[in-house]
Structure 1
Amino acid sequence: MANKNVKVGLVQLSCSGDVAENMKKTIVGIREAAAKGAQVVVLQELFRSLYFCDVEDYENFNLAEAIPGPSTDTLGEIAKELGVVIVASLFEKRAEGLYHNTTAVLDADGSYLGKYRKMHIPDDPGYYEKFYFTPGDLGYKVFKTKFATIGVLICWDQWYPEAARITALKGADFLVYPTAIGWAKSQDDATNEEQYGAWQTIQRSHAVANGIPVVSVNRTGEEAEMQFWGGSFVANPFGRVVYKAPHLEEEIHVEELDLTGSDRYRTHWPFLRDRRIDSYEPITKRFLDED
């Protein structure tokens, strides 16, 4: 395989209650990433607004939009102007009373390639996403862009090796995870460190198990009772962290991924070769109760 590299921009920002201002700020971040050489720019989860799922409030449904729609139109123009791929997490209104947490992909010519709807929907204190989002029904997706085939998953999907595996098996060159996760302000430092460590470790394990890089882009900033922990990072195909953003500051970073590395790691650590696909039927069960 000939050398194949792709430069990926991570846009880690804080958000405000002003949707227009958030979009403007994000576009500035996209431009900065492109100026640094990014070919693919990945945005954080639900970047257009504050993370509204901390409460169950019907007014927040007014933040949703059609996909494709106004935001993909705007971002498509930016993608075309700059010649970059944009991976954009949006709140999708599919129909009256039907909403999804969705990521759209705009190719480098500005064309809309499609969308992935978040499959795993959390419901925890401060993360009441089941109130807002219907689970995805498009399956796991990869997007063949100008620069690479990108596997897109979203936040809570991060904790599920099955999602990463299936997306990798569909031919992803690397996985991206737009994210919004943070610490409760009342927590102690030891708990914070443990939680971030688990979050990063599970995603690094997806890189190892599948032999492809992982790019995770999280928001930062204080919102209500939450300190979003930033810490966006890139792991190589063997799980080594090659870049980590600060926790409490905004950051625009471009990391070059060597996509030829996957063949080397998969050859020397042949997890895909040795998979016992004949033995995995039980994974489709909720739980394996004893007879």
Structure 2
Amino acid sequence: MNLPRRAKLLTTLGALFLATIPAGATADPPAAGQRVRVAAISFVPRKLDLPGNADRLEQAFRQATAGGAKIAVAPEGALDGYVVNQMLAGEIPVARMHDVALPVDHAVIQRFQTLAKALELCLVFGFAEKVSADVFNTAVFIDGAGAIRGKYRKMQFAEGYHPGWWFNRLGAQSRAFDTPFGRCGILICNDRWNPALARIPALDGAQFLVIPSFGSKSESQDEAVLSRARENGLPVIEANVGVSLIVSEGNVAVVQREPESIAFADIVIPAPLASKPAERDEEERKFLAWRAGEMQRRYESKYHRFGRTGGQPGEAK
């Protein structure tokens, strides 16, 4: 990116202020213009190291609290190490997903509920969610009282999709949910490239978006996140592996490119807007219709590159 273009991207990097409402509060949605101190955590989780990643994630959330954050977002796959790509490439047996996939009521998730309450911190992170015999790429939002306010399953994959991928299922729905700081919507990584996946929670009344990611660190990804914020008039907190990006009032508040770091900024949460369920459902219907063909196209393209002509990569359950 040339200097004038980069300067435009960074126009509002500036003063950061502490939020005054505790993260565990149950107050009404904030009025327009309320500033909330937030953190985007960048760290590189180790593949299949659930205990080690959980310990590192806890320390990162503690550091976010020490920096004054009331909401902290960590990357996609923060607990499992985001191992899907290695499984699809045949580098890790897919059966190893059983070692790291967790139901949402697992003791490891409860550990972070306890931590959130102790820190009075709203926290978001990605993990491999076990649901019966299937596994989803999921992110969870835990409030400062330790309650799970919402979760989201990734709806768009860069790698495409095969119906035999029990270890990498697609999500089917996106909804905003209430938090102590207003309604929130979640996207995960590749979702950020698709305007529809930000528009759906916005039509459901979202007042801010969070994006746990484990992917591109390019400036074009920054521009995609900035575009999703501007299209919907919402602040965005993205925590990626090697880049953190926070957008508020249509401008970049901070962008930081370090593999192990925490970026802090204020976001200004807009006044709540009424949800538009009919428009939301229509947007989601159109997305799902488009996705069916697009995921097949991406799958075929990817596995032709691997020298495969079809079928399911990986192993049986």
State whether TM-score is above 0.5. Answer: yes
1:142 corresponding residue in structure 2: 176
State, as a whole percentage, how many aligned pairs show the same letter: 27
AA matched with 1:65? L
Match of residue 214 from structure 1: 236
Deviation string 1:165-212 (CA, Å, 9 cap, x unpaired) is 111111111111100014xxxxxxxxxxxx712211111111111111
Q: Which one-letter code corresponds to 1:76 in the other structure?
A: Q
Instruction: From the superposition, tell whether residues 2 and 162 of structure 1 become closer, same or farther in structure 2 (CA, over 3 Å).
Output: closer
Do residues 30 (structure 1) and 61 (structure 2) align? yes
Alpha-carbon contact 1:214-1:237 (below 8 Å) kept: no
Higher strand share: 1
* AA in 1 matched with 2:69: A
Match for 1:234 among 213, 229, 246? 246
Gaps of 5+ in 1: 183-194, 220-229, 267-275
* Structure 1 length-normalised TM: 0.76
User: What residue in structure 2 maps to residue 192 of structure 1?
Assistant: none
Counterpart CA distance in 2 for 1:67 and 1:255 is 29
AA in 1 matched with 2:244: S
Corresponding pairs, count: 245
Partner of 2:120: 83
Are 1:243 and 2:280 an aligned pair?
A: no
Stretches (4+) displaced over 3 A: 279-287
RMSD: 2.8
- CA distance in structure 1 between the partners assigned to 2:283 and 2:183 by the alignment: 27
2:142 is aligned to: 106
What residue in structure 1 maps to residue 264 of structure 2? 254
In the alignment, structure 1 residue 45 sits paired with structure 2 residue 61: no
Q: Give distance in 1, aligned partners of 2:248 and 2:63.
A: 24
Q: CA deviation at 1:131?
A: 6.6
Structure 2 unaligned regions, length at least 5: 1-30, 88-92, 274-278, 292-317
Higher relative contact order (CA 8 A, sep 6+): 2
| Cα distance change on mapping 1:206 and 1:197 into 2, 3 Å | same
How big is the shift at 1:151?
1.0
SS of corresponding position for 2:185: strand
Please report the TM-score for the alignment, with normalisation by the length of structure 2. Answer: 0.70
Give the equivalent residue in structure 2 for 1:15.
45
